[in-house]
Amino acid sequence: MSADQFLSFEITAPLFAKPKHLTQTTAWHGHLPFARWIVAAAKPGVLVELGVHEGASYCTFCESVERFGTNTKCYGVDAWEGDHQAGFYGDQVLKALSAYHDPLYSSFSTLVQKWFADAAQDFDDGSIDLLHIDGLHTYDAVKADFEAYLPKMSKSGVILFHDTVVRHGDFGVWALWEELTKKYPHFEFAHSNGLGVLCVGETPPPALSWLCGLRDPLRGEVHDFFANIGNRLIWETEESRIRDRLTVMETSVNDQQSKMRWDNEFLNTILQSRLDESAALRDELRRLFADFKTQEAKLAEVFVELDLKNAEIEKLSNLAQALQSEIFALRNSTSWKVTKPLRYVRSRNFAGLKAGLKPVVKFGWHVARKVLPLVPGGQKVVDKITASRIRRFEETERQKFQDEHTPRYFIGQDLTNIDPAEVTPLVTRALSGAPATTQNVAPIITEIAALSGHGTKDLFRSFQKDRLNEFLESEDLVRLPNAFSPKVSIILVLYNNAELTLPCLKSLQSERDITLEVIIIDNASSDRTHELLEKVKGAKIVKNDENVGFLLAVNQAAEMANGEHILLFNNDATMRPGTLEAAIKRLDSDPGIGAVGGRIMLLDGRLQEAGSIVWNDGTCLGYARGDDEDAPHVMFVRDVDYCSGAFLLTPKKVWEELGGFDTIYAPAYYEETDYCMRLWEKGYRVVYDPKAIIDHFEFGSAAKSDWAIAQQQKNHIVFKERHKDSLAAQYAPSEDNISKARIRGRKNALSVLMVDDRVPYRHMGSGYPRAADIVEAIIAMGHNLTHYPLQFPYDAWDSIYASLPDNVEIARGFGVTGFEEYLVQNAARYDVLIISRPHNMAIFKKIFDKQPDAFTGVRIVYDAEAVFANRDISKAEMLGKPMSMDRATTLVSEEISLAQPASIIATVSGEEAKSFRGGGKAVVEILGHKLEAKPSDVPFSARRNLLFVGALVADDTPNVDSLVWFANEVLPKVNLSLEQPLTLQVVGKVESGTVQTLASEHIHLLGRVENLDEIYDQSRIFIAPTRYAAGIPHKVHEAAAHGLPCVATELIARQLGWAHDEAILVGKDATEFAAQIARLYQDEELWTKIRAGSLQKLAEDCAPDQFDATVARLLTE
């Protein structure tokens, strides 16, 4: 039998055609050409597929039966309910598939909606020629399917297994496949998650006997033939989908452009109106300028008159002085004749002088106040005339004018006189969506509303009144959750503002994932609140006869609460999705937490507060008010002095322990500040969590904002007296103190700034696992840490905090361009500055050299890791282009000199430390990796194959170079020396085009795997074929921690300081590397010895206590 017979043109030509039924799930697409081939080559009488799902493979089988005329009876079996691996779904999947399948293939194909075990009873023993098993992929499930259907297979029976190379999670097809291949002829494709072909019949079809009997190199060529066709199909399909998405995006762009044109036309109309007004204003300005010139001329005359008056004043002053002695002499005289001249002089000269000068000064001030500030130097003249009292008056007047006339936002044109009718369409569009939609356009609407004389709150309230009216006139109801044993009791206190209460209640209506109850206290509302409450179902509602105020109403509701926790929530607020869940998760994370609050957003899309500060004078500050919603300084979890009662979650038992709100603050304000202060005094924490977000009207529950402010001022006095001892430890109110006071930290906590290329994701390798350990160690010590991602500053927040503790501040978005400004502005608030990697230190050093005074008192730590110049030197030598001695020495010297600003240096090994000490840097600490041994008890005999772990991002990197070298130079030698060829499992993100071409039957590219434990436990040998690098290899330490022995290059062994044949095996070249693998793979005693040796070295080099102690020394010694 030959390839020509089974890969003839008649059979292979259709393999290149695009299948008719391509689904959203693409896992099988790479094997669809083979599906066509096996139908054409095997011509099965009965074909059964277990696990049809959307029908990608099954419909291709059916399409091939029809195309090749094989007269095959086909049965697609599936319960069409899904599972935990593929996801669960309803009957819509089967309906969609039937709509496609039935008109085309129902004459020979049947879709059977049954569980696999039940469907097996429908088939006679020995009746199935081709079976495809693709259901639940756990080991037990696949084995059960195989054993149930094996008796049903014919003498020519063939079984296909999908996902044979998937080893993450609880996938176990690979394990059953390894067992079955020892018994049955087989062939395996490694692409598209793997497909195994197993001949279980006594007399398989000739084509299948030929396929399963192939040996290399033809076996590999056939594998690659089908893999290439399958991959080409995947690429073409993906290209088609991308084109479809582009079409959708183009349509969306066109829609947006149309909307922008409409908006531009609207704004242009406004602009033209403003330009017309501007022209009129220019004319008015010309007229005023002409008046100014006239007044200027008059003012000149006034100055002349003032000079004359000054001369007269001086003359009269001399006269007054001359008369002084006469006044003294005459003061005791009783003679009318003698005193009459004196009285005459006083009345005519002094009183007359005062009366005479008054109109002159008054007129001069009148003219000067209006005209002089408009000309250069005029203010000096005003100062001369008015003296200090009038200067202060002018300052007050000018500030008052600016406060009254300066808007908070500008979009380029004055919109003061805009017609309200023109605002309505924009406002309606902005406010008609969900809160998140409103938030995106809120700043623009706020500006238009403010500049047109219509406040954002007025517009929002008006819109919500319309929605309230619509709701009250409809048949709709608000149905709130009402759990028998609630996790949370939500307390709402109402006083009028029914239009604001409705969206609040609707936001609670959607909270279905958390058991809760809602308690509503109506403080004798006089608006339509009573009508609204008639349409609210599920809540506990209490209607007070009088307005007892917020505080007493909250205490009243709390007595009725059955929840484990109590949530105080303002009725003029709405919760964003996930807010309540995040707050509960935070509160439950530590019994020492007494309250949790979150981000509170204003209507204009800016922050009202992100936690709050209590100053030592008892005044308070809502931190970050007016800032952007996702400003970096509000996106991390932190302890705070207090959080607003607009959203405050607290355990009920703690609430009862403290006696609720202190009634001395009744009716409202300062009660939550007092409650949080009492929590701290009792030893509880108050935590701000940015994942909890509400949109808040602010002061919506108060009758007047003026009343609210007055009430705050009144209770401030009470609060200050009640907590004077605690307040003494608070910071003084100052803008400079905000950055310190925003975090309520423990005493002696340091503020640390850590600068690295990017957020340290462990899966990326390249020193980032170690950087992540440094971050976690600093946080565990109780210090406050800001991480500055210098080179890659724009990672998504979700990705960042999936990798780092959420109480680390991330200086996101500043990058290289904003680095100098950030450092100069903020360096003084940090105690320690850690700079990682030489290229980042080079950037910092330029800033330091320019402004060294900015870093006075800051401890600078250079986390060099290694001398990276050594990597470039070894790379050049490895490529056969060695550097000159002078060039190599210069590179090393230049890199070491970067450490000049540092107080202390950290390197990953003693070898690297020597380089810096030799360069005159005496204070050097060795900070390696932090790992705990966690070897499994999986024995040598149960393990198979080789493992490589590392990110494979770009071709010109150490990882890619090492893997390509191993695949081309070492692995072929290994497989020639062993009876059974080994497979190399490659784990890590693959972006390198060169690496992608390595995928084959013996090299499986698994991509990034979240949890490597299972893969480590299945593998027998770890390889580290690195030929050039700096530092120490984290991946070898990690393999050792899992109890997996390693074969490595001399470079890796030298970096680790591990001896050959004790803790590691070393291959000096490709031939020796292959020999060491073959030796270790076959010798259980040697394997056990190397495993024990590497675990011992790991304990010496990577002890967590030793790592943490070194980090502590870097910060303080």
Q: Are 525 and 655 in a shared domain?
A: yes
Tell me the pLDDT band of 608, cut-offs 50, 70 and 90: very high
Rounded to 5 degrees, what are φ and ψ at 946? -115, 160
Partners of 109 in the beta sheet?
74
Residue 1114 in any domain: the answer is: no
Token pair for residue 730?
């608070």
Torsion-angle region of 193 (φ positive above 0: left; ψ -120 to 50: alpha; else: beta): left
Peptide bond between residue 667 and the one before it cis (omega within 30 degrees of 0): yes
The per-residue b/e assignment along 572-600, b for 16 or more CB within 10 angstroms, e otherwise, is bbbbbeebbebbbebbeeeeebbbbbbbb
Q: Are 441 and 487 in a shared domain?
A: no
Side-chain-side CA neighbours of residue 373 (13 Å): 10
416-436 pLDDT, tens digit per residue, is 344 444 444 444 444 444 333
The per-residue b/e assignment along 208-231, b for 16 or more CB within 10 angstroms, e otherwise, is bebbbeeeeeeeeebbbbbbebbb
pLDDT at 472 over 50: yes
Q: Are 686 and 768 in a shared domain?
A: no
The per-residue b/e assignment along 430-458, b for 16 or more CB within 10 angstroms, e otherwise, is bbeeebeebbebbbbbbbbbbbbebebbe
Torsion-angle region of 344 (φ positive above 0: left; ψ -120 to 50: alpha; else: beta): alpha
Q: Are 984 and 886 in a shared domain?
A: no
Q: How many CB atoms lie within 10 A of CB 463?
A: 17
Residue 1105: per-residue pLDDT: 92
Q: How many CB atoms lie within 10 A of CB 636?
A: 25
Q: Are 854 and 715 in a shared domain?
A: no
The answer to whether the CB of 68 falls within 8 A of the CB of 151 is: no
179-212 pLDDT, tens digit per residue, is 999 999 999 999 989 999 999 999 999 999 999 9
Q: What CATH number has the domain bearing residue 534?
A: 3.90.550.10
pLDDT at 822 over 90: yes
Residue 288: per-residue pLDDT: 74
pLDDT at 512 over 70: yes
The per-residue b/e assignment along 710-740, b for 16 or more CB within 10 angstroms, e otherwise, is ebbeebbeebeebbeeebeebbebeeebbbe
Number of domains in the chain: 6
Peptide bond between residue 425 and the one before it cis (omega within 30 degrees of 0): no
Q: What CATH number has the domain bearing residue 797?
A: 3.40.50.2000
Q: Smallest Cα–Cα separation from 135: which of 192, 85, 208, 60?
A: 85
Of 884, 900, 926, the domain-final residue: 926
Residue 919: per-residue pLDDT: 59
Antiparallel, parallel or unpaired: β 638-639 and 685-696? antiparallel
97-125 pLDDT, tens digit per residue, is 999 999 999 999 999 999 899 999 999 99
Rounded-to-integer distance, Cα 773 and Cα 805, Å: 11
Residue 345: per-residue pLDDT: 40
Residue 860 in any domain: the answer is: yes
- Residue 844 CA, distance from chain mean position: 26
**Dihedral of the CA atoms 775, 781, 786, 792 (nearest 10)?**
0
Rounded-to-integer distance, Cα 712 and Cα 722, Å: 15
Residue 383 in any domain: the answer is: no
Q: Are 111 and 260 in a shared domain?
A: no
Q: What CATH number has the domain bearing residue 79?
A: 3.40.50.150
Sheet holding 809-810, edge to edge: 809-810, 784-789, 751-756, 832-836, 859-865, 904-907, 924-926
pTM of the model: 0.59
Residue 439 in any domain: the answer is: yes
The per-residue b/e assignment along 907-945, b for 16 or more CB within 10 angstroms, e otherwise, is bbbebbbebbbebebeebbebbbbbeeebeebeeeebbb
Query: For 732-833, where are the alpha helices, taking DSSP H only?
Result: 738-741, 768-780, 797-803, 819-826
Q: How many CB atoms lie within 10 A of CB 544?
A: 18
- Give the DSSP per-residue string, 561-629: --SSEEEEE-TTEEEPTTHHHHHHHHHHT-TTEEEEEEEEE-TTSBEEEESEEE-TTS-EEETTTTSBT
Q: Are 616 and 686 in a shared domain?
A: yes
32-73 pLDDT, tens digit per residue, is 999 999 999 899 999 999 999 989 999 999 999 999 999 999
Q: Residue 173 is part of which domain span?
A: 3-214
342-386 pLDDT, tens digit per residue, is 444 444 444 444 444 444 444 444 444 444 444 455 555 555 554
Residue 229 in any domain: the answer is: no
Residue 660 in any domain: the answer is: yes
The answer to whether the CB of 174 falls within 8 A of the CB of 166 is: yes
Q: Between 306 and 745, name the one with better pLDDT.
A: 745
977-1006 pLDDT, tens digit per residue, is 998 899 999 999 888 888 999 999 899 999
Rounded-to-integer distance, Cα 1079 and Cα 1068, Å: 15
Rounded-to-integer distance, Cα 930 and Cα 648, Å: 39
Of 451, 470, 489, the domain-final residue: 470
Q: Are 912 and 944 in a shared domain?
A: no
Token pair for residue 294?
């006239």
The mean pLDDT value for 704-710 works out to: 68
Q: Are 917 and 976 in a shared domain?
A: no
What Cα–Cα distance (Å) separates residue 442 from each residue in 264, 449, 786, 837?
Answer: 18, 10, 30, 42
- Residue 873 CA, distance from chain mean position: 38
pLDDT at 527 over 70: yes
Mean residue pLDDT of the chain comes to 83
1030-1082 pLDDT, tens digit per residue, is 777 889 999 999 999 999 999 899 889 899 999 999 999 999 999 999 999 99
Q: Are 444 and 537 in a shared domain?
A: no
Segment holding 786, helix H or strand E: strand 784-789
Q: Between 543 and 357, name the one with better pLDDT.
A: 543
Residue 427: per-residue pLDDT: 44
What Cα–Cα distance (Å) separates residue 448 from each residue in 35, 146, 698, 1003, 1014?
Answer: 63, 69, 20, 62, 59
Tokens 């680390």 -> residue: 808
Q: Are 29 and 173 in a shared domain?
A: yes
Residue 19: per-residue pLDDT: 83
Contact residues for 922 (Cβ-Cβ < 8 A; gap 6+): none
pLDDT at 415 over 60: no
Q: Smallest Cα–Cα separation from 199: which of 181, 217, 214, 172?
A: 181
The answer to whether the CB of 642 falls within 8 A of the CB of 612 is: yes
Residue 423: per-residue pLDDT: 44
How deeply is 415 buried, as exposed, middle or buried, from its count of CB atoms within 10 A (0-12, 13-18, 19+)? buried
SS in 3 state form for 80-128? CCEECCCEECCCHHHHHHHHHHHHHHCCCEEEECCCHHHHHCCCCCCCE
Rounded to 5 degrees, what are φ and ψ at 188? -130, 135
Total number of residues shown for the chain: 1117
pLDDT over 90 for what percent of the chain? 53
Which of 62-66, 323-327, 943-947 is least confident? Answer: 323-327
Residue 303: per-residue pLDDT: 64
Token pair for residue 508?
């609670």
Which is it for the CA torsion 1033, 1039, 1040, 1046, positive or negative?
negative
Segment holding 423, helix H or strand E: helix 420-431
Residue 336: per-residue pLDDT: 38
Q: Between 81 and 346, name the one with better pLDDT.
A: 81
Q: Are 99 and 16 in a shared domain?
A: yes
Of 891, 926, 961, the domain-final residue: 926
Rounded-to-integer distance, Cα 91 and Cα 80, Å: 7
Q: By 3-state DSSP, what share of the chain in percent is helix, strand and coil, each rounded to 5?
A: 50, 15, 35
Tell me the pLDDT band of 1025, cut-offs 50, 70 and 90: very high
Residue 393 in any domain: the answer is: no
SS3 of 885, please? Answer: helix
pLDDT at 332 over 60: no
Contact residues for 55 (Cβ-Cβ < 8 A; gap 6+): 21, 23, 76, 97, 100, 101
What Cα–Cα distance (Å) separates residue 1086 from each residue in 748, 1019, 1021, 1077?
Answer: 51, 16, 12, 11
Residue 407 in any domain: the answer is: no
Q: Smallest Cα–Cα separation from 944: which of 973, 978, 972?
A: 978
SS3 of 789, please? Answer: strand
844-900 pLDDT, tens digit per residue, is 999 999 999 999 999 999 998 767 766 777 776 777 778 778 777 777 777 778 888
pLDDT at 448 over 90: no
pLDDT at 1024 over 80: yes
